Amino acid sequence: MIVESGSGAHPYYMLRKPRKITKERLEHLLRVLAKLHRADAAASRATRLMRVPNTYNWKTGSRKLARVRYFSRRGYSLKKLEALWNRPTLDLERKSKQPGQIGMGKHATFFSEHLKKFVLPEGSSEARALCPFHDDHKPSLSINVSTGRWKCFAEACGARGDLREFCKRLAISPPASEIKRFPRERTIPEGEEWSSRRIFDAMYSHITSHIYFTQSWQPVVAILWAMGSYLYQQFPCYGHLWLNSPTTHSGKTKMLEVLWTLCYKALEPQLEPTPAALFRFPSVFGGTLLLDEIDNLDPEKRSAVISVLNSYASNGVVTRAVPGKNKKFTLEKLPVYCPKVIAGINNLPGTLQDRCIKIFLHRKKKSESVERFLPGTYQRLEPLRNQLEAWAVRDEQRIIEAYGDRDQLGVPSVADDRLRDILEPLFAIASVLPKWISEKLAEGTLTIAEERSAEEAESNAVVLGLQVLREHMPREGESWPVRTDEALALFSEEIPSIETKAQAQALMRRLGFKSERQRVGKKVLRAYRVHRRRVQKLSERYGLEH
Ligand SMILES: [Zn+2]
């Protein structure tokens, strides 16, 4: 049972039947347990009492209700608990903390397993072995087993690097000690866990029964993303999920609600988040952030939101002025790394688009029926979220290993580096799931990559078109009439994607110029009126103004 005490969590293990044991034996067991859970060692005294659920905790001065967070009827035998907890790993941990031994030879075992003729002189941290990176006959590789750095002294080879590089070159997984795990409690007893496939299937039927997707890879990508929200801290960066649509009522808000029920510790979708809440969320709450209708935010808030969204890497921080003592403001650096879903933005700044996996939702036809999102859905799906937490603990290691070996993940080569950055975590997760899921993800990658390059070409055309207009605009006059055939002549010279009148017209419209009847010399013709002020404004926006 886990009791939320109001200022932390208390785990209790129920014995099958009452036992009479010595205080020493109990306290030893409690100390081991505290260590295992990285809990407060003060809690390992026999005189400690249980925080009774449904009573108030007044310890901090304010009233906090103690609640049961997890309960299982499973009872343990004392013998089994002792066997389970007194594992040799705990003894090892104690030994390594003895003075003089810290870090010494940390990686000795690992390197010895992967190298031939490995020799480590006693008391030294410099080992020698045959170099695996050239045809070595006398041990030329020198390895520092405490730092993990290595170097080959053979003249023709000269290979060198660190532990990571070593693993990468030999295509092996790094030692378990190098993989950071973040502590989490298991809320599902072993034996009651679902397989990863069953979890995926449950998510798939939930999401597809509520949302109408036009492409079959879309729900797969959304589910993998939601699964990844339980492991995001293991990745150096985690891209945002961007729900985009041309119209209202295309299911964006509902999709946010559905994701809310699936993602790791998601807050209910936020319609008008305050910037302060946004900045605080990742460090205080550390779950998934769901943001709706950011277009409608007032400009000041919007820019604060964008600055949080611009960060998708684990080392991302924003610097904020916060009121401190004596009403003076101090600067504070706040971490902003967390999984984020954004919906309802029509035009994201280009840099932000690069950090997003876009899911384009179309309005469904009347004939395409989906379920309503009923109140109580969030509560109803709690067992699934618990299964996801257990899955994350269980498959974490395999996923990290797959991610460590990124080149083998099968990410289609059309994806550029930025796209790879945000899709590799999803491919790593798909690697522990049935094969069709990776295949769908690869299919989605192709579409996303195609869309991205089309968008890039379009925005390039806008910038180039603007440049052409600036260069050819007469020095005098507030506006300049440009006929379609003139526009085509100007654009087709400089912009590869413009070859027809229709394309030239489209670009003029994208730049915001309208075709009007107007006097050109003695004749009245249809022409685009190119306003000097608009050209100047656009040039500023695209950084062409010097
Ligand atoms: Zn070598």
pTM: 0.60
Same domain for 150 and 28: no
Centroid of ligand 1 to alpha carbon of 136 (angstroms) = 7
In CATH, what number is assigned to the domain containing residue 331? Answer: 3.40.50.300
Centroid of ligand 1 to alpha carbon of 146 (angstroms) = 20
Residue 188 lies in a domain: no
In CATH, what number is assigned to the domain containing residue 45? Answer: 3.30.70
Tokens 């119209």 locate to 247
Antiparallel, parallel or unpaired: β 289-291 and 515-520: unpaired
Centroid of ligand 1 to alpha carbon of 402 (angstroms) = 27
- Residue that finishes a domain, picked among 136, 151, 178: 178
Tokens 């649509």 locate to 245
Residue 24 lies in a domain: yes
Residue 155 lies in a domain: yes
Q: What angle do CA 373, 375, 378 make, to 5 degrees?
A: 85
pLDDT tens profile 131-156: 999 999 989 999 998 888 999 999 88
Same domain for 205 and 164: no
Residue 366 lies in a domain: yes
* Predicted local confidence at residue 81, as pLDDT: 76
Q: Is 417 helix (H, G, I), strand (E, B) or coil?
A: helix
Same domain for 354 and 205: yes
pLDDT tens profile 66-83: 887 777 777 777 877 777
Centroid of ligand 1 to alpha carbon of 405 (angstroms) = 22
* Predicted local confidence at residue 103, as pLDDT: 41
Q: Given pLDDT bands bounded at 50, 70 and 90, which one contains residue 196?
A: very high
Centroid of ligand 1 to alpha carbon of 112 (angstroms) = 16
pLDDT tens profile 433-445: 999 999 999 999 9
Residue among 352, 339, 234 nearest 282 (CA):
339
Centroid of ligand 1 to alpha carbon of 170 (angstroms) = 13
Q: Is 57 helix (H, G, I), strand (E, B) or coil?
A: strand
In CATH, what number is assigned to the domain containing residue 171? Answer: 3.90.580.10
Residue 206 lies in a domain: yes
Residue among 461, 540, 542 nearest 499 (CA):
461
Tokens of 377: 């859905």
Centroid of ligand 1 to alpha carbon of 109 (angstroms) = 20
Centroid of ligand 1 to alpha carbon of 475 (angstroms) = 67
- Alpha helices of 325-434 — where are they, by DSSP H? 350-353, 377-380, 382-404, 417-430
Centroid of ligand 1 to alpha carbon of 110 (angstroms) = 19
Centroid of ligand 1 to alpha carbon of 158 (angstroms) = 6
Overall average pLDDT of the 18-24 stretch: 82
Residue 274 lies in a domain: yes
Q: Given pLDDT bands bounded at 50, 70 and 90, which one contains residue 198?
A: very high
CA 265, distance to chain mean position in Å, is 13
Q: Is 523 helix (H, G, I), strand (E, B) or coil?
A: strand
* Predicted local confidence at residue 434, as pLDDT: 95
Same domain for 200 and 159: no
β-pair partners for 241? 341, 357
Residue 33 lies in a domain: yes
Amino acid code (one letter) for 40: D
Overall average pLDDT of the 270-293 stretch: 78
Minimum mean pLDDT range among 74-78, 86-90, 414-418: 86-90
- Residue that finishes a domain, picked among 46, 65, 96: 96
CA 191, distance to chain mean position in Å, is 29
Centroid of ligand 1 to alpha carbon of 150 (angstroms) = 10
pLDDT tens profile 289-300: 898 877 777 777
Centroid of ligand 1 to alpha carbon of 172 (angstroms) = 18
Centroid of ligand 1 to alpha carbon of 137 (angstroms) = 10
Distance between CA 437 and CA 443 in Å, rounded?
Answer: 10
* Predicted local confidence at residue 346, as pLDDT: 66
Same domain for 118 and 255: no
Q: Given pLDDT bands bounded at 50, 70 and 90, which one contains residue 187?
A: low
Antiparallel, parallel or unpaired: β 9-11 and 2-4: antiparallel
Q: Given pLDDT bands bounded at 50, 70 and 90, which one contains residue 350?
A: confident
Centroid of ligand 1 to alpha carbon of 132 (angstroms) = 6
Overall average pLDDT of the 271-283 stretch: 75
Number of domains, the chain: 4
* Strand ordering across the sheet containing 126-129: 126-129, 141-144, 150-152, 160-161
Same domain for 368 and 251: yes
Question: Is 482 in contact with 472 (CB distance < 8 Å)?
Answer: no
Centroid of ligand 1 to alpha carbon of 135 (angstroms) = 7
Give one word for 213, left, alpha or beta, with left for phi > 0 and alpha for psi -120 to 50: beta
Amino acid code (one letter) for 481: P
* Predicted local confidence at residue 96, as pLDDT: 39
The count of other CB atoms within 10 Å of the CB of residue 458 is 13
Domain residue limits at 127: 108-178
Distance between CA 167 and CA 222 in Å, rounded?
Answer: 31
Average per-residue pLDDT for the chain: 83
Centroid of ligand 1 to alpha carbon of 134 (angstroms) = 5
* Predicted local confidence at residue 179, as pLDDT: 57
Q: Is the pLDDT of residue 544 over 90?
A: no
Same domain for 221 and 300: yes
Centroid of ligand 1 to alpha carbon of 401 (angstroms) = 26
In CATH, what number is assigned to the domain containing residue 506? Answer: 1.10.10
Distance between CA 28 and CA 414 in Å, rounded?
Answer: 58
pLDDT tens profile 456-492: 777 778 888 988 998 888 888 888 889 899 999 999 8
Centroid of ligand 1 to alpha carbon of 131 (angstroms) = 5
Same domain for 241 and 325: yes
Residue 189 lies in a domain: no
Distance between CA 266 and CA 289 in Å, rounded?
Answer: 6
Tokens 């036009």 locate to 214
Q: What are phi and psi of 515, to 5 degrees?
A: -85, 125
Antiparallel, parallel or unpaired: β 523-531 and 317-323: unpaired
Q: What are phi and psi of 142, to 5 degrees?
A: -110, 130
* Predicted local confidence at residue 48, as pLDDT: 80
Q: Is the pLDDT of residue 171 over 90?
A: no
Same domain for 462 and 404: no
Q: Is 521 helix (H, G, I), strand (E, B) or coil?
A: coil
Distance between CA 312 and CA 327 in Å, rounded?
Answer: 32
β-pair partners for 3? 10, 68
Same domain for 528 and 478: yes
Same domain for 346 and 257: yes
Centroid of ligand 1 to alpha carbon of 144 (angstroms) = 15
Q: Is the pLDDT of residue 230 over 90?
A: yes
- Alpha helices of 295-416 — where are they, by DSSP H? 299-309, 350-353, 377-380, 382-404
* Predicted local confidence at residue 100, as pLDDT: 35
Centroid of ligand 1 to alpha carbon of 407 (angstroms) = 23
- Residue that finishes a domain, picked among 178, 206, 240: 178
Q: Is the pLDDT of residue 357 over 90?
A: yes
Same domain for 472 and 349: no
* Predicted local confidence at residue 238, as pLDDT: 93
Overall average pLDDT of the 117-121 stretch: 88
* Predicted local confidence at residue 93, as pLDDT: 40
Long-range contacts of 117-126 (CB under 8 A, 24+ apart): 120/145
Q: Given pLDDT bands bounded at 50, 70 and 90, which one contains residue 192?
A: confident
Amino acid code (one letter) for 373: F
- Cβ neighbours of residue 20 closer than 8 Å, sequence gap 6 or more: none
Centroid of ligand 1 to alpha carbon of 107 (angstroms) = 20
